[in-house]
Amino acid sequence: MPDRLAPRRVTAPQPGAGQEAAFGRPDSVAGSFSADRPPPPARPVPPPPPEAFLRAFGPGASGQRGLQEPPSGRPGRRRTAAGPWWKADARSDPWRDPYAPAGLGAPAVFPAEPEEQPGPIVVDARGRRRVRLRDLSVRLSALALLAVLLVGAVGGGVGWYLTRSTPESPLLAPGTTLSQVDPGITREPGSVSDIAAEVTPAVVSIEVRVGEGGATGSGVVIDGDDGYVVTNNHVVSGAEGVEGAEIRAVFSDGSGSEARIVGRDPASDLAVIKVEKPGLVTASLGKSENVVVGDPVVAIGSPLGLAGTVTSGIVSALERPVRLAGEGSDTNAVISAVQTDAPINPGNSGGALVDATGALIGINTAIASLGGAGTTGGSIGLGFAIPIDTVREIAEQLISTGSAVHASLGVNARSVTDGTRDGALVLNVEPNSAAANAGIRERDVIIAVEDDPVGSSEELVVAVDRHAPGDEVTVEIVRDGRSQELRATLDAA
């Protein structure tokens, strides 16, 4: 067995001479220092309180303890209970006076349980007689149940017998008259119903048959005495010069009449047809200058072949340049259109757009779609109408001569922009045209015609069409980054 290790000696640092002199025990002292420690000085005696404190807070002359009376004396007894010291038991309540004597109150008393009453008829606390079900005998309960079942069986049998024995009422009742109420219906002048009743007789449905095919549209009577009806060119152009083609106008009363083409104008998408029917209602023609954005309007026509259809909306924009190119038609026009949110659908073409007075302000001609403006697709809330001033001017020319004349500058252009200014870039100039004689060249950008701003090729066509052939106009162009004005005498298109 190996030897155990000896304990390691613990050494402590020895105090120095200065530490022994300061903290060491004197040689003459063998024990602690407490025996000869000097006593601590006596605590100072606090000065007596001032006389004012003694009078205010000191005990009374009789040496009483506890809460004292207020200096002004105890207030008289009051009937209110707003303060605890005004109650009669204030002095005996230990929560308000810590020196109040303790006292015992009366013991708690529990109500005696009611005596058990023999059933089944008992009397409750209010003196009412009741039946206690648990005390009823089995025989009595069974008898009551049988009585209930018997009453139910008898009642059901009687009801069944009465329903079987009562004869059924007949299905038919000749001469029956239902009650009727005639409330007063107020239709204010200028309402949609009032406008529709006034204008619908002047709107016709147009049916075009070419061989096995056909098309439908609308028209408006502009001269009822001679039977002239205005419509769109793309509605009737398919029947022009085609042997066996038939155009028929159907009026609001259901009657119809064959129609002949008086004249067509593909450049404005307008046409006039003539019917042989006397006494037609003529539409009242308004003025384009009286139309403002926000005016209520009503569109009347035959969308999808549904004659006499009325829709309403407002004028949502004016002088909107719209390019028209009817499918299967020779229409190639740019119009300064009246834009409306009145629902317009295929078949509304050639129909009436009237204001709140019933005056004709435009001929519905196109609707907006994701593919552009045309007459296909459905209404998306953007429709376009030819302004009435243009309709009047073109219709008068067609009725007078069978054709319409438009002014021409003699250029082909496309819309361009440099980011700050828009215009119409001249792609080519027709020889001996008004543009060529005025010095307009290819690559020029036209930005105005006679103070009318031009921001696109459509706006250029509209600006030129506002003038008549032979008019001299100022054309502002941009060439090589500089603006200049040229004078041009417009030709006939």
Would you please indicate which residues are annotated as catalytic (active-site) residues? 234, 269, 349
Answer whether 132's CB lies under 8 Å from 120's CB.
Answer: yes
Q: Which amino acid is at 367?
A: I
What residues have CB less than 8 Å from 227, skipping those under 6 apart?
A: 221, 257, 274, 275, 276, 277, 278, 280
Instruction: Please give the Cα distance from 380 to 369 (Å, whole number).
Output: 7
Other Cβ atoms closer than 10 A to 362: 31
By C-alpha distance, which of 315, 311, 268 is closest to 290? 315
Print burial letters for 260-289: b (CB count within 10 Å at least 16), e (below 16).
ebbbbbbbbbbbbbbbebeebeebebbebe
Strands 491-492 and 213-223, bridge-based pairing: unpaired
Answer whether 445's CB lies under 8 Å from 477's CB.
Answer: yes
- The CA distances from residue 5 to 8, 11, 134, in Å, are 9, 18, 95
State the DSSP H helix or E strand holding residue 231, giving kind and residue range, or none if neither: strand 228-232
Strand partners, 246: 209
